[in-house]
Every structure is written in structure tokens, then in C-alpha cells.
Amino acid sequence: MRKTHRKIVIGALLCGCALFTLYGASRIAERAEKGALPVTLTDLDNEKPVIIIDAGHGEST
């Protein structure tokens, strides 16, 4: 009985933490400029590639 109670409480705590994380992520997405999202919230199939131009002196590694 005690083990079952502990599992239920731990499951409820983990669920609460997950919901709190999703709520926080949605708030970050709302406040982001120009639809910018943290990398973990993006879908790679729909994102435009970012091109970085190397400003080196011809010896790019």
C-alpha cells in the first residue's frame, strides 16, 4: 500500500513539472521577437536554414 501511494505521488509531481515546463515554453514563444523560438521547440522540417558567412582570412577550418 505504501509503495503504491508513493508511486502515485511521484507520478503526480512529475506530471505537474511537465505541465509547468510546457506552460513556460509557451510563454517564451509568445514573447519571442519575429517568431524566434528556442531550438528545442522548433521543427527542423519547417525551419529555414541559417547561413553563416565566414569572415576569416582565407584559412577557414
Q: Provide the residue range defining the domain that includes 13.
A: 2-41
pLDDT at 45: 66
Say how many domains are in the chain. Answer: 1
Give, for all 61 residues of the chain, the pLDDT tens digit: 689 999 999 999 999 999 999 888 878 777 766 656 656 655 666 666 677 776 666 665 5
pLDDT at 20: 93
pLDDT at 25: 80
In a domain, 15, yes or no: yes
C-alpha grid cell, residue 44 = 527542423
Report in angstroms the alpha-carbon separations of 35 from 12, 25, 27: 33, 13, 12
In a domain, 6, yes or no: yes
d(CA 20, CA 4): 24
pTM: 0.47
pLDDT at 2: 83
